[in-house]
Amino acid sequence: MTLGNVEYDIKQLVLYGGSFGPREIDQLRDDISRDFKKFDELKEAVNELKMKDEDELSPAVRVKLGVCQYLIGAYDDAYASLKKGDGGALAQFYFAKLHFARREFDEAIAAYNTAQSAGYNVDVCALGRAEVYREMGETSQSLQELDYLSGAIEQTADYLYQRGATVNALGNSQEAIRLYERAIAVDKNHPGALFGLALENERRGNDEEALELYKRAVLHFPTNVGTLMNLGILYEDLELYDQAQLCFQRVLDSYPSNERARLYLKDVKASGDMRYDEEAQTKNRELNTRLNQPITEIELSVRSRKCMEGLGVKTLRDLCQLTEKDLLDTKNFGDTSLDEIKDLLAQKGLKLGMCAPDKQRVEAYETSQLSPEEQTTLNQLVSVLNLSVRARKCMGRLKIVTLGDLVRHSADELLECKNFGSTSLQEIREKLTPLNLKLKGD
């Protein structure tokens, strides 16, 4: 690593005395982002510094240790180290970053204010507060912080990214994209701008472009949780299960209590069990092939065929949605025809009623029995559920547009969708419950 005209290696910078401020930290972050071997060197140096005797760990050294622990994603250790630090501007600034990472927003704002009062760069602290306010949902306050800034800071990648993310939160995605692109023009490796641009590409279905942008963004340390989660899901879509596991594991390394990352990791490990998956998927495909077979291809008596036509049965799936009572209630359909149908289905491993465990409720969704309020709810776009990327992708694959489309699907039908596991199913059920809705069969 080069600082000015003097050569430093990471171990020397971390373990020995000398200047350690924003300039050195930025250079250190750039080094470990360019070369993952440097990241390993930083981890080794941090572990060695941590093991030093107490009398060697002065308050200033504690701050250095805490900042380096923050860079490698060891947030709990970083917080503990900074608590024993000197309480100066640098310590307060990284306290703010840690509070933000832990979603302790009020504490983050207070720490940025303290850092600024202690002499940390005013513009940088303002950008930090703008980010916190945006995450709190106070976008007008975030924009106000940015509007107060002027001069050279307005041309930096950090400023352009923060303004882009804020106008995006206000609903202007086109302006946000323009600002993200300007930020990347200033700093081609800016993690926030890369993430923002990747997310906009993914929302527009440009998965290949999104993948490349996410891959560039995760090279920055500490890496944004959203970047790792979304990249992991894209890897999973491509059946690159080892890479997906690494992404979710990196989230857990920094946030051990992140339940979503833990469940996604469990799902992706199960997806990696190719023998099990292939057998299950083969069975599902075979079952769907049988159920989707047109009734016109089945050899039936004239009476039974006319009954199928009268009931609007076009496939074996349609037939399996009917019960024995449904058929016997049909004119000119008796026990002989019923036995014929049951024998036919048994030969194909099917039976009456197997596809309609909750047929009455599903039919009610499609009739005027619903109140105007219920019909309005079912006509809402599925986007109102604010689903995770993985669940949202499944909705797209199954061409589910409204809540009414969604509740006409059973849990088994959703689980047949690629990379849709128990975590996503649980998420959808939890999102439907406040709306008094359920999946078919639940």
Task: Tell the residue number behind the tokens 């100066």, with chain if given.
Answer: 88
Alpha-carbon span 256 to 239, nearest angstrom: 25
Strand runs (DSSP E) across 1-96, as ranges? Answer: 2-3, 6-7
Rg of the chain on CA atoms, in Å: 29
Sort residue 125 into left (φ over 0), alpha (ψ -120 to 50) or beta: alpha
pLDDT at 167: 96
pLDDT at 256: 86
pLDDT at 358: 44
Domains, the chain: 2-216 (1.25.40.10), 277-347 (1.10.150.20), 359-435 (1.10.150.20)
In angstroms, the first-to-last Cα distance of the chain is 59
Digit-by-digit pLDDT tens for the chain (442 residues) are 444 434 458 888 899 888 899 999 998 998 888 888 888 899 999 999 999 988 889 999 999 999 999 999 999 999 999 999 999 999 999 999 999 999 999 999 999 999 999 999 999 999 999 999 999 999 999 999 999 999 999 999 999 999 999 999 999 999 999 999 999 999 999 999 999 999 999 888 888 899 999 999 998 888 889 999 999 988 888 888 889 899 999 999 888 888 888 888 887 776 665 434 455 456 667 777 888 889 888 888 888 888 888 888 888 888 888 888 888 888 888 888 899 999 988 888 888 887 764 444 444 454 445 667 777 888 888 888 888 877 888 888 888 888 888 988 888 888 888 778 778 888 899 999 998 888 987 7
Report pTM.
0.66
Sort residue 276 into left (φ over 0), alpha (ψ -120 to 50) or beta: alpha
pLDDT at 221: 86
Which contiguous run of DSSP H or E holds residue 45?
helix 36-50
Sign, Cα dihedral of 74, 75, 77, 78:
positive
pLDDT at 122: 97
The DSSP bridge pattern shows strands 2-3 and 6-7 to be: antiparallel
